[in-house]
């Protein structure tokens, strides 16, 4: 009798765990946004801890680039490429926003070390990456996907880079904007 009761409790616990695991996976599956859609709005802290909203950049062309991790080789190469082309972005009125799961403190150190002239946003809860379908967490990863979204002055996504090559990404962005 005790063995039967214990077996039923174990089966019930396994069923409950499977139910919660399935629902968690369903909720964290990345969303898909497409070119032509309004860019999802958000507010998260920058490298200084100041809350920044996408809405504050409405009326400006915006690059929203997701990257996996501060101070890793590919991410540093991509960020430095954007830094080196920053005068061209500024000349054309383009705002650059980098997003990863790193803390504001990590972003501050990365920005200072690499002399990055653009804003780095801290998506520690993975909410913004999830909104944009750049959240790989559901697939077992702890980093945002390397994806870039170009947003026009009206707040519409006009181009999405799903497969980013860090070494020449700045030039690809300028070309996609028509420069």
- Catalytic site residues? 75
| Block residue for tokens 């400006």 | 60
Q: In the chain, how many H helices and how many E strands?
A: 6, 7
CA distances, 139 to each of 78, 123, 134 (Å): 24, 18, 11
Q: Which residues contact 70 (CB under 8 A, 6 or more apart)?
A: 100, 102, 106, 107, 109, 110, 120
C-beta neighbour count of 88 within 10 angstroms? 15
Q: Which of 118, 133, 119 is nearest to 44 (CA)?
A: 119
Rounded Cα gap, residues 121 and 34, in angstroms: 22
CA distances, 15 to each of 4, 24, 29, 139 (Å): 16, 14, 21, 22
């Amino acid at each position: 009798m005790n063995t039967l009761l214990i077996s039923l409790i174990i089966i019930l616990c396994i069923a409950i765990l499977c139910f919660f695991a399935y629902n968690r996976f369903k909720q964290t599956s990345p969303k898909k946004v497409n070119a032509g859609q309004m860019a999802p709005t958000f507010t998260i802290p920058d490298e200084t801890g100041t809350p920044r909203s996408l809405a504050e950049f409405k009326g400006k062309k915006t690059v929203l680039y997701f990257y996996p991790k501060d101070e890793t080789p590919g991410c540093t190469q991509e960020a430095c490429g954007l830094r080196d082309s920053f005068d061209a972005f500024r000349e054309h009125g383009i705002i650059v926003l980098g997003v990863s799961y790193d803390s504001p403190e990590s972003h501050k150190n990365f920005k200072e070390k690499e002399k990055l002239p653009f804003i780095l946003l801290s998506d520690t809860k993975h909410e913004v990456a999830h909104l944009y379908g750049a959240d790989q967490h559901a697939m077992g990863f702890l980093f945002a996907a390397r994806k870039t979204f170009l947003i026009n002055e009206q707040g519409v996504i006009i181009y999405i880079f799903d497969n980013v090559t860090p070494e020449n990404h700045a030039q690809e962005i300028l070309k996609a904007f028509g420069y």
